[in-house]
Structure 1
C-alpha cells in the first residue's frame, strides 16, 4: 500500500524541524531528543486505576526502576505483562512508553510492568538481557503479592524491547522457568546482521534508517562480528524455537525490520509454536507511540489488546 498519509505527515514534520539524525548525536543527546519527540507525538496519558513506581532488586547490578500499571481495583487476580520499551537498547525509558503501557493495561484489562533496563553504551550487551530476564523472574515470583496471576504472565515489547521479549522467552525455556504464557513482539529486531531485504528496501527516508540502526548496534555490542550470531542478540539465529510461548508478532510495512520480524514468526510457526501475525499497511517503524498524529497507532493498540485478552483469559 502507499505510505500512510499520517505517517507521511510525521516524516515531513521531522524533516521540516531539522532534527539531526541520532547517529550524529551522543547517546545522552539522542535520549533527550527521543523524549521530546514523544511529548509531541504521544496522546495525553489516559487515567488508570493505579500507577506505582517500584525498584526491583538485581543480583548483577543496581536496582531496576520499574512502573506498574493496574487497570482496575479489586476483583480476581489479573494477568500481568512485563513490558520492555523500544529505542535500540540506547534510548527510551519509562516516560517514553508511559502512554502505550497505560493503553495496553486499560484496553486488555491486565497489569503492565514496564522495565527501565540498563542502556548502552554505558551498559553493553548482555546487560539489557540480564535486566529483562531478572525482571521477568521477579515478576513471576512477586505476582501474587502484587495481586496478579503468575500463571498468566506475558512478556512483550516494541523494537529492541520486542527483541528482549523474544530472548527472555528463549532464556526461560532454557533455564526451566519462569513460566511465560504469551509473548507480544511489536516490530521486533530479531537479527542484528541486518541482511534482510527490507533493510535495503527501507534503508532511508522512513524514520528508522540504516545508519541509525548501525549506530544503535555499535553502541549495544562490544564485538559485533562475534556477538551478532549469539541468539541472545539475534533470536532468529536460535537453533531451535520449539517449546516457546504462543506469540503475536505485529510488523509495519515501511519498516526495515519487517522482514526479520515476519521471518521470526514463520520460524515459530514451523517449530509448532502458536503464532499470529499482523502487518500494519502503509506504516513506519515506531508508530505505536505516535497516537496523537497517527490514528493507526490506536487501531494497533486495539488489536494488541484483543490478542492479549484472548491469550491470557
Structure 2
C-alpha cells in the first residue's frame, strides 16, 4: 500500500536530516519551527484548561503540562513525547496532547525529560518515571482515585512508557491500568539492526541510520540489554498492564514493536495491535493537517477506550 498522498505532499516540504553525525541543536530548532506548519493553531483541539507544573526529584526539575477536558473525565493519561530521546518538549507535544485530551475525555499529563546526547541514559528514564510516580500519587487531584490510568508515548516516549511499567511491576509500585505504545522503540540492542523492518529502511520520516545515531546517543556507555533501555530484553513480561500497540508498515521500528506485542500475548497480557499501511512514523502529530492521520488517530483513541473499558 502506498503512502497517503496528502501526507506525501506534507513530507515533501519538511527538511530531511542530512547523513552523518546529527546536529542536535539544528534539528531541535527545526522541530520548533515546523510546529506551526504541522499543527496550525486553528486545528488544535479545545480543552477546558492547561496548567504547567514541575516535579522536583532531587536536584532535577521535571516539567509537566496538565490538560483537562471539557465535560466529564473518563480517565487519566500520562503521555511522554518522542524525538529519539534527543528532540522535543512540552510545546512540540502540545497539539497531540490536546487532541488526546479532547478525544478521550481524559486528563492528560504530558511530561518532558532531559535530552541526550547531553544527558544520556538514565536521565530520560529517571525523569519520566518520576513524572509517572507523580501522576499515580496525584490521582485524586487529577480527577479521582476511581479513574483508570493509562501511560503512553510515541517512539522514544513509547520506549520510556514500556520501560516504566516494567520497573513499577518489579518494585511492586502502584502502576497504570493500560499502556499505549505508539510505534515504540523497544529493542535498542545492537542486534536490532537486523530486523527486516530496519533493513527495509522504507520510512521517509525515520531512516535506520538516523535511528542508530539516536540510540547510540541515548544509550551512551550503558548496557543496551538493560530492560530500562530495551523493554524487549526483559526476562518476563508477565503481570504487565494490557497494551495497545500501534505500528506502521514502513516504520523501521515495526518489527520490534510486533515482537513485543507477541511476547505480551504469549504471557496472557491483553494486547491489541493496530497497523497502518499508508502512514509514517510520527503520524499522530500530523493529524491537524492530514485527514488520514486524523482518522488513524481517532481509531487509536477508539480502540484505547475499548481496552480501558475492558480492564477498568
Same fold (TM over 0.5): yes
> CA separation in 2, counterparts of 1:188 and 1:23?
24
Secondary structure of 2:108's counterpart equals: strand
Secondary structure in 2 aligned to 1:231? coil
Task: Give the C-alpha shift of residue 78 in structure 1.
Answer: 4.0
Residue 185 of structure 2 corresponds to residue 189 of structure 1: yes
Structure 2 alignment gaps of length 5 or more: none
Alpha-carbon offset, residue 157 of structure 1: 0.3
Matched, 1:33 2:30: yes
Q: Which 4+ runs in 1 deviate beyond 6 A?
A: none
Could you say what secondary structure the match of 2:90 adopts?
coil
**Equivalent residue of 2:174, what SS?**
coil
How does 1:145-184 map onto structure 2 within 5 Å? 145-149=141-145, 152-184=148-180
Q: Distance in 2 between matches of 1:146 and 1:246?
A: 22
1:94-144 deviation line (CA, Å, top 9, x unaligned)? 111111111111111111000011111121101111111111111111110
1:238 is aligned to 234
| Contact persistence 1:253–1:281 (CA under 8 A) | yes
- Aligned with 1:13: secondary structure? coil
SS of 2:117's partner is: coil
Superposition RMSD in Å: 1.9
Contact 2:107-2:143 within 8 A present in 1 as well:
no
Distance 1:121 1:42, change over 3 A: same
Tell me the CA shift for residue 198 of structure 1: 0.4
Return the offset for 1:39. 2.3
For 2:181 and 2:20, how far apart are their aligned partners in 1? 25
Judged with a 3 Å threshold, the aligned counterparts in structure 2 of structure 1 residues 214 and 3 are, in CA distance, closer, same or farther, namely same
Distance 2:225 2:46 in 1: 42
Larger CA deviation: 280-289 vs 24-33:
24-33
- Structure 2 equivalent of residue 214 of structure 1: 212
Partner of residue 80 from structure 2, selected from 70, 78, 84: 84
> Which aligned pairs between 1:41-190 and structure 2 lie closer than 5 A?
41-43=38-40, 44-59=43-58, 61-72=59-70, 78-149=74-145, 152-190=148-186
Distance across 1 between alignment mates of 2:11 and 2:38? 12
TM-score under structure 1 normalisation?
A: 0.91
For this pair of structures, how many residues does the alignment match?
A: 304
1:270 to 266, 280, 286: 266
State how far apart, in whole Å, the 1-side matches of 2:61 and 2:86 are: 19
Residues 80 and 148 in structure 1, CA contact (< 8 A), matched pair in contact too: no
TM-score (norm 2): 0.91
Q: Secondary structure at the match of 2:277?
A: strand
Structure 1, unaligned stretches of length 5 or more?
Answer: none
How far the C-alpha of 1:4 sits from its partner, in A, is 2.3
Residue 284 of structure 1: aligned partner: 280
1:2-43 CA distances to partner (integer Å, 9 max, x unpaired)? 2222232233223xx5x5438554322211111222321124
Q: Which secondary structure state, in structure 1, belongs to the residue aligned with residue 217 of structure 2? A: helix
**Cα 1:30/1:23, change in 2 over 3 Å:** farther
